[in-house]
Amino acid sequence: METLKKKIFDILRLNNLFVDELFFLAGDASDRKYFEAKISAKKVIIMIDEDSKNLKQFIKITKALEKKISVPEIYEVFPNHGLAIIENFGRSKYSKILTKKNSKELYKLAIENLIFLQNKKISVTLPKYDTRKFLEESNLFFDWYLPFFNIKKDNLKYKFNLIFKDLLKKLKELPQVFVHRDYHIDNLFFLKDRLGTKKCGWIDYQDALSGPSLYDLVSLTQDARIDVPKNIEEYLVNFYLEKNKIHNKVFFNFCYNLIAIQRHLKVLGIFCRLSKRDKKNMYLSHLPRVKKMLLSNLMKKDLSELFLILGPFLKNE
C-alpha cells in the first residue's frame, strides 16, 4: 500500500498537485483502489486502476450520466497512469447510514432514481448483457464455488445450463436499459442537499451494460451484503411495478426470480474466487446469505426444473 501511495504522490507532484492528506478507503472486489485526499484544502477522491480501459469507460459513462443523475464530478484525469481525481460524496454511503427508521425512504429514493434513468435515453453505446454473458457469469458458481468446498458433481453444470440457457433467453422480452450491474448499498450515497432524484449519488458504474430492466432492482432488493427485510423488498418491488405500470405480474415475477438466481450464482462464485485466488477473505461471511436467497428463488414454482437439479445439492451441502 505504501508503494502505491508513493506512486500517487509522485504522479501528482509531476503535475504540480500537492496532497495534504492521503487515506486509503475500503477498496472493492476489483484491483481498483480509492483514496481520500485533500488538495488545496478540498477533500477529493483519488481513483487509481492499472487497467486504463476501466478509467476510460468510467469517464465515458460519467459524461453520459452527469446531467441526469448524481455521479462524481471529474476534476483531473491522468490516463497514462490510470488515475483520476473525482468528487468526494462524503460519509453518506447507504451502507453506513441505513437504519430501520430511514431504510424505506432511502431504498425508495434509489428505486425512483433507477426508474428515472431507465426512462431516459443514454448517449453511450454499451455492450449487451446477453445470454452468453449471463451464462459466463453464473458458471463461476460451478467453476469456483463448488471446488472451493471440494465438491464434485459430474455434469452438474451441463445439466443445469441446458435448461437455464433457454430460460435466460426470455429476459430479452424485458425493456433493455442501462444496467449499473452493482446497484447496491456500497455504491449509493444520500446527498441531502440536492433535489429530487439527484439526492441519490452513484459510484462504481464503469462496468455498466445494456440489459434487462429488472437486473439493478434485484441487485438492490436481494443484496449479497445485507439482509433486506422481506417487507421492504416487497414494498420496493410493488413500487417498481406501479410506477412502471407493469400489469403482467406473472412474467415480471418469473424474470425477477430468474435474474436473482443468475446473480446469486455469480456472486457465490466471485466471493470464493476472491478468497482463493486474491486472498480477499472478507466476502466469505456473506456466503450463507447468498446461498439462502439462491435457494428461495430456485423454489419458485416456475423454476422447479432448476431446483430439481441444484436445490437438493445446495440443501445438503
Q: Per-residue pLDDT tens for 193-244?
A: 999 999 999 999 999 999 999 999 999 999 999 999 999 999 999 999 999 9
Same domain, 205 and 309: yes
Burial of 90 (0-12, 13-18, 19+ CB in 10 A): middle
Q: Say if CB 218 and CB 260 are below 8 A apart.
A: yes
How far is the C-alpha of 216 from the C-alpha of 187, rounded, in Å? 12
Q: For residues 76 and 108, state if they share a domain.
A: no
Q: Please indicate, yes or no, whether residues 154 and 219 belong to a single structural domain of this protein.
A: yes
Domain co-membership, 83 together with 103: no
| Same domain as 33, residue 127 | no
Taking the C-alpha atoms of residue 262 and residue 283, their distance in angstroms, rounded to an integer, is 18
pLDDT in tens, 95-124: 999 999 999 999 999 999 999 999 999 999
Q: Is residue 132 domain-shared with residue 228, that is, in the same domain?
A: yes
Domain boundary (72, 87, 102) is at 87
Distance of CA 43 to the CA centre of its chain: 25
Half-sphere exposure of 253 (CA within 13 A, CB side): 14
Residues ≥6 apart with Cβ < 8 Å to 305: 163
What pLDDT, on the 0 to 100 scale, is given for residue 214? 98
Distance CA 254, CA 214 (A): 11
Q: How far is CA 109 from CA 220, 236, 237, 239, 269, in A?
A: 12, 10, 13, 11, 30
The residue type at 80? N
Q: How many domains does the chain divide into? A: 2
- Do 99 and 68 lie in one domain? The reply is no
Same-domain pairing of 83 and 104: no
Q: Which of 87, 120, 142 is the last residue of a domain?
A: 87
**109 and 82 belong to one structural domain:** no
- Positive or negative: CA dihedral 111, 112, 117, 118: positive
65 and 43 belong to one structural domain: yes
Structural contact between residues 118 and 178, judged by C-beta atoms closer than 8 angstroms:
yes
* Same domain for 205 and 118: yes
**Which range has highest mean pLDDT (17-26, 149-158, 239-248)?**
239-248
CATH of the domain at 39: 3.30.200.20
pLDDT mean over 172-199? 97
Per-residue pLDDT at 316: 62
Which domain range does residue 194 map to?
Answer: 94-316
With vertex at residue 66, the alpha carbon angle to CA 30 and CA 202, rounded to the nearest 5 degrees, is 40
* Interhelix angle 249-276/287-298, nearest 10 degrees: 150
Residue 250's Cβ-count burial label (10 Å; 0-12, 13-18, 19+) is exposed
Show the CA angle centred on residue 207, arms to residues 32 and 241, nearest 5°: 130
Q: Which three cell numbers stand for residue 53?
A: 480501459
The pLDDT-based confidence of 28 (bands split at 50, 70, 90) is: low
Boundary residue ending a domain (26, 58, 87): 87
Mean pLDDT of the chain: 93
Instruction: Look at residue 21 and tell me whether its pLDDT is greater than 70.
Output: yes
Residues 195 and 73 in one domain: no
CATH number of the domain where residue 185 is located: 3.90.1200.10
Cβ atoms of 37 and 44 closer than 8 Å:
yes
Query: For the chain, where are the E strands, in sequence order?
Result: 19-24, 33-39, 42-48, 74-78, 83-87, 176-179, 188-190, 200-202, 209-212
What is the pTM for the complete model shown? 0.94
Whether the CB-CB separation of 201 and 71 falls below 8 Å is answered with yes
